[in-house]
């Protein structure tokens, strides 16, 4: 999705903008552009297409003697074609105001018609273009509140005005915007990751407040009140990881980091849960024990929520409902007194999940964030946050964040489980074995690559099936496959096949059965489902979690044997194999696995 990098001060502007925009690439973009004021001359440039950051930024000067006021942008088209006219920065009729925007202006048509009627000229067809024209028609210095009265929707805006030299202006609603400080330079970005390349002190920009920046200070308009800095220091983001420019490296690295991400977090989670004085325990004391939990998320986070539901209902006996955040927020959901709300999100900036959380907040119930990015909107607005603590995830595909979401939900369900002491001990020792077992899966890289060659490369469709804990794993396997390799894949409960999808099966369709292990309650059931597919000549790959006699008699063309673990943890083991399969399907088909077409890492618009 769109990204903003702006700054005021000196320095090598070419390098700063190149580095900043490149770090925003992972969000997905179709066009990019900049505008900067130097000596009160404003220069502007835009480029359309992917991979245009180099040529855009090569046109910037390197070192400059005086201060520069600069804004730059990567655009992920939502309104209007991918053309230069629709790329940012956008400007007013007199070309005084140059503005970049993230978000969506919902009433832009109405605003545009009013502005056209009063003589304004528009050149493109985006929602953003309305904003510089509004700014042109109001006195935003003395009545900045007007802009918030006119605009509806979400917006993070940065702009320059020729008539107001040596300043940058910023304002936002819903979409994030953060200011960072380094010596005599202020940086502004929509993305913490980008800011952390340049500084490690940050300040939050509040909603519906109009700010003016020079090279050192931030003022609130109209009072011109100087903000006394209270910067938060964060070292969460790893500069080296963000700056790595090698192609197709992030997704693979992130899959391979999983033994480490799991290993380092087990003791952290354990002490959070066990220490009576831990933040979690202090928080719980203030709330009533949940009678019902609502989990909301999107995409992969939603899949993790589905697995969490089984844990929470099975071990904690808490009624749990899992919702697509996008649907939940518009369905007039019912909240009763002892309901808790879980917002599940890697980025912490997914617009729909934020929307669902805002709705839940109105009912005054405990809001729990399970997020990777500290200081993200969901993190800041939750009553209690679990941090995934897996480091930056840059590849568009969610990988290491998914396995950690599952682990957190599992451990949380054990925390809420009132008895089951012996069972809990068994679970904890299985959790400690996970990192080594994931390593065993990673060591199967060659076998997994071969499976891709045999099963997926010659097919444009695939089906992933599972039951119980591994039904959401099947959904996730299918999502990864279509997202990374563009092979059309469907995930389903194996039991649902005979209610329709079985009609698709023929000798050419790869059908992946995620069988699990023999202690799983659905083990025998899924084997019957395999027979149903085999009888229709389906091309079956089965994934099992232990070696046992029965494997030889499975109605399967190929059996992939993964390490054994307790049924509850099989999704973590199995999904790692599915991540590697989709990674190689993408690589062997020549896809950009880190930045799949049309997608964005952080979906900041509805």
Instruction: Tell me the two tokens of residue 302.
Output: 């939603």
287 is annotated as an active-site residue: no
Report in angstroms how near the CB of residue 353 gets to ligand M6R at its nearest: 5
User: 404 near 386, Cβ under 8 Å?
Assistant: no
Select 253 or 602, whichever has its Cβ closest to ligand M6R. Answer: 602
Q: What Rg value do the Cα atoms of the chain yield, rounded? A: 26
**Interface residues with ligand M6R (CB under 6 A)?**
298-301, 345-347, 350, 353, 396-398, 479, 483, 602-603
Active-site residue, from 2, 157, 298, 591: 2
Select 127 or 393, whichever has its Cβ closest to ligand M6R. Answer: 393
Select 212 or 258, whichever has its Cβ closest to ligand M6R. Answer: 258
Dihedral angle sign, alpha carbons of residues 98, 103, 104, 105: negative
User: 269 near 411, Cβ under 8 Å?
Assistant: yes
- Write down the H helix ranges in 512-565: 523-534
601 is annotated as an active-site residue: yes
Q: What angle do CA 378, 381, 383 make, to 5 degrees?
A: 110
Select 369 or 510, whichever has its Cβ closest to ligand M6R. Answer: 369
Q: Which residue(s) pair with 538 in the sheet? A: none
Q: What is the DSSP letter of 456?
A: I
User: What CA–CA distance (Å, rounded) separates 247 from 255?
Assistant: 15
Select 110 or 327, whichever has its Cβ closest to ligand M6R. Answer: 327
Residue nearest to ligand M6R (CB): 299
**Residue 474, burial from CB neighbour count under 10 angstroms (0-12, 13-18, 19+):** buried
User: What CA–CA distance (Å, rounded) separates 549 from 438?
Assistant: 24
User: 464 near 514, Cβ under 8 Å?
Assistant: yes
Report in angstroms how near the CB of residue 35 gets to ligand M6R at its nearest: 30
Distance, C-alpha 277 to centroid of its chain = 32
Report in angstroms how near the CB of residue 382 gets to ligand M6R at its nearest: 13
Select 70 or 325, whichever has its Cβ closest to ligand M6R. Answer: 325
3-state class (DSSP) for residue 65: strand
Select 299 or 538, whichever has its Cβ closest to ligand M6R. Answer: 299
Active-site residue, from 22, 309, 437, 601: 601
User: What CA–CA distance (Å, rounded) separates 371 from 386?
Assistant: 6
Q: Which residue(s) pair with 181 in the sheet? A: 186
User: 471 near 306, Cβ under 8 Å?
Assistant: yes
HSE (side-chain half, CA atoms, 13 Å) at 512:
32
Torsion of CA 388, 389, 390, 396, to 10 degrees: 60
Report in angstroms how near the CB of residue 1 gets to ligand M6R at its nearest: 10
End-to-end CA distance of the chain: 11
- Write down the H helix ranges in 384-485: 400-416, 421-442, 445-451, 470-485
Report in angstroms how near the CB of residue 300 gets to ligand M6R at its nearest: 3
Q: Which residue(s) pair with 336 in the sheet? A: none
User: What CA–CA distance (Å, rounded) separates 20 from 70?
Assistant: 12
Quick one: how many helices (H) and strands (E) in the chain? 20, 25
Dihedral angle sign, alpha carbons of residues 434, 436, 438, 441: negative
Report in angstroms how near the CB of residue 397 gets to ligand M6R at its nearest: 4
Report in angstroms how near the CB of residue 263 gets to ligand M6R at its nearest: 22
Report in angstroms how near the CB of residue 387 gets to ligand M6R at its nearest: 13
Select 168 or 251, whichever has its Cβ closest to ligand M6R. Answer: 251
User: 361 near 381, Cβ under 8 Å?
Assistant: yes
Select 2 or 396, whichever has its Cβ closest to ligand M6R. Answer: 396
Report in angstroms how near the CB of residue 451 gets to ligand M6R at its nearest: 20
Phi, psi angles (nearest 5°) of residue 228: -85, 120
Catalytic residue set: 2, 601
């Amino acid at each position: 999705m769109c990204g903003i990098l702006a700054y005021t001060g000196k320095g090598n502007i070419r390098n700063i903008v190149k580095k900043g925009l490149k770090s925003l690439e992972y969000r997905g973009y179709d066009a990019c552009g900049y505008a900067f004021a130097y000596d009160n001359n404003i220069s502007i440039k835009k480029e359309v297409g992917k991979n245009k950051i180099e040529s855009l930024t090569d046109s910037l000067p390197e070192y400059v003697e005086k201060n520069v006021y600069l804004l730059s942008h990567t655009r992920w088209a939502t309104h209007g074609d991918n053309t230069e006219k629709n790329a940012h920065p956008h400007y007013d009729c007199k070309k005084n105001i140059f503005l970049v925007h993230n978000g969506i202006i919902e009433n832009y048509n109405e605003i545009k018609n009013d502005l056209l009627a009063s003589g304004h000229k528009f050149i493109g067809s985006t929602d953003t273009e309305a904003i510089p024209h509004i700014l042109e028609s109001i006195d935003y210095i003395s009545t900045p509140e007007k802009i918030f009265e006119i605009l509806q929707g979400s917006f993070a805006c940065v702009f320059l005005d020729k008539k107001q030299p040596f300043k940058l202006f910023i304002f936002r609603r819903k979409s994030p915007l953060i200011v960072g400080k380094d010596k005599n330079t202020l940086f502004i970005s929509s993305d913490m990751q980008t800011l952390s390349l340049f500084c490690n002190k940050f300040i939050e920009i509040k909603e519906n407040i109009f700010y003016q920046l020079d090279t050192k200070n931030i003022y609130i308009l109209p009072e011109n009140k100087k903000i006394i800095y209270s910067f938060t220091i964060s070292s969460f983001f790893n500069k080296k990881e963000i700056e790595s420019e090698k192609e197709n490296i992030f997704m693979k690295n992130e899959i391979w980091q999983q033994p480490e991400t799991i290993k380092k977090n087990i003791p952290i989670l354990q002490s959070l849960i066990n220490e009576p004085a831990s933040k979690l325990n202090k928080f719980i004391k203030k709330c009533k024990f949940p009678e019902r939990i609502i989990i909301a998320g999107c995409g992969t986070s939603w899949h993790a929520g589905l697995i969490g539901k089984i844990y929470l209902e099975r071990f904690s006996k808490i009624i749990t409902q899992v919702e697509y955040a996008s649907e939940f927020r518009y369905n007039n959901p019912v909240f009763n007194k002892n309901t808790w709300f879980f917002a599940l999100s890697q980025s912490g900036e997914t617009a729909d999940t934020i929307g669902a959380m805002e709705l839940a907040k109105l009912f005054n119930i405990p809001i729990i964030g399970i997020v990777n990015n500290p200081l993200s909107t969901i993190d800041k607005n939750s009553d209690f946050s679990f941090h995934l603590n897996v480091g930056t995830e840059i590849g568009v595909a969610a990988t290491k964040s998914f396995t950690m979401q599952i682990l957190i939900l599992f451990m949380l369900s054990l925390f809420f489980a009132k008895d089951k002491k012996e069972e809990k001990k068994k679970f904890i020792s299985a959790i400690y074995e996970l990192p080594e077992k994931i390593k065993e899966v990673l060591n199967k890289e060659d076998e997994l690559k071969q499976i891709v060659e045999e099963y997926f490369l010659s097919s444009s469709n695939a089906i992933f099936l599972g039951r119980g804990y591994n039904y959401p794993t099947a959904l996730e396997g299918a999502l990864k496959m279509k997202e990374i390799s563009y092979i059309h894949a469907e995930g389903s409960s194996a039991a649902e096949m005979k209610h329709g999808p079985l009609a698709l099966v023929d000798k050419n369709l790869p059908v992946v059965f995620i069988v699990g292990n023999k202690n799983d309650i659905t083990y025998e059931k899924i084997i019957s489902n395999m027979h149903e597919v085999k009888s229709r000549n389906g091309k079956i790959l089965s994934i099992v979690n232990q070696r046992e006699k029965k494997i030889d008699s499975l109605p399967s063309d190929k059996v992939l044997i993964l390490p054994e673990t307790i049924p509850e943890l099989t999704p973590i083991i199995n999904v790692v194999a599915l991540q590697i399969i989709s990674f190689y399907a993408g690589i062997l088909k020549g896809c950009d696995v880190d930045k799949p077409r049309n997608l964005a890492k952080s979906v900041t618009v509805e």
